[in-house]
Amino acid sequence: MKTYLSVVIPAYNEEGNLKKGALNEVYEYLNGQKYLWEVIVVNDGSSDSTAILANKFSKNHKNFRVLNEPHRGKAGTVVAGMQAAKGEIVLFSDMDQATPINEIAHLLPKFKEGYDIVIGSRSGRKGANLVRKMMAYGFIFLRAVILRLPFKDTQCGFKAFKREVIQPIFAKLEVFRERQEKGSAVTAGFDLEVLYIARKLGYKIKEVGVSWEEKGERGTFGVNPIKDSWEGLRDLLRVRFNALTGKYRR
């Protein structure tokens, strides 16, 4: 029997969320499903006890495995996990479960409708502060103007792909390779570039509303309003420049 769903969870210094039982939530939901599934926790060279806790959990729970990677930032961690996945559908999701794993039930039916990629769109952003909401609205405007991406939310950490589209898209990534992030950085350009390339390749993408709630324990893939806004704009421009210079046609 083939694995139907792979869930990739990037983890950098996620000791707090692991101790709070984030993976228990994932296991309890998936264990109740009729399809075959796997969870890949990708440790991004954490400096705390993330690796120890994740490995301990995987030994005691079926269908969980840990991938230990050198520290490269969230984008590199997600790529490693996606490429290692065996499922027909591959989802990447945040450790803190700001969007709970049960929201996958809203995404999976869209693949049967013929979509290649289904992305979560955060509705309401419960718990998000004013600065974070303003950043989101500004980013929507800029990406529509610069990249003509027609989505309300490109940055939600809850995206699912048919396995066969992953390699064609990821093979063309440029911004991700240019920026091997260190520390707690979240690369805005990764999500933007993935979706931009996917559209250029003609893949069908569906945006679906999902619940989302700001969590008190965000691990170290956190948000720095000024730094992240500047880097988000820079990545937008990099993707546009790469497109204009033909890099995505190679």
Whole-prediction pTM value? 0.88
What are the residues facing 7 on neighbouring strands? Answer: 39, 91
Tokens of 54: 């994740």
Decide if pLDDT at 53 tops 80.
yes
- Of 71 and 182, the structure prediction assigns the larger pLDDT to 71
Specify the range with the lowest mean pLDDT, choosing from 24-28, 36-40, 111-115, 125-129.
125-129
Fold (CATH) for 5-249: Spore Coat Polysaccharide Biosynthesis Protein SpsA; Chain A (3.90.550)
- What does the pLDDT read at residue 94? 95
Tokens of 198: 């996917």
Task: Indicate the average pLDDT of the chain.
Answer: 87
Mean pLDDT calculated for residue range 80-102: 97
Decide if pLDDT at 136 tops 70.
no
Residue 136, CA distances (Å) to 77, 228, 241 in order: 24, 11, 22
Per the rule left: phi > 0, alpha: psi between -120 and 50, beta: everything else, 200 is alpha
- What does the pLDDT read at residue 194? 96
Parallel, antiparallel, or unpaired: how do β-strands 37-44 and 117-122 relate?
Answer: unpaired
- Of 179 and 175, the structure prediction assigns the larger pLDDT to 175
- Give the residue extent of every domain in the chain: 5-249
At 199, phi and psi to the nearest 5? Answer: -65, -40
Return all residues near 156 (Cβ < 8 A) that are at least 6 apart: 99, 119, 120, 121, 122, 210, 212
- What does the pLDDT read at residue 95? 96
- What does the pLDDT read at residue 224? 58
pLDDT tens profile 185-239: 556 789 999 999 999 999 999 999 999 987 655 444 455 555 666 677 888 889 9
pLDDT tens profile 139-173: 667 777 788 889 988 989 999 999 999 999 999 99
Specify the range with the lowest mean pLDDT, choosing from 65-79, 83-97, 224-238.
224-238
* CB neighbourhood size of 152 (10 A): 15
- Of 129 and 50, the structure prediction assigns the larger pLDDT to 50
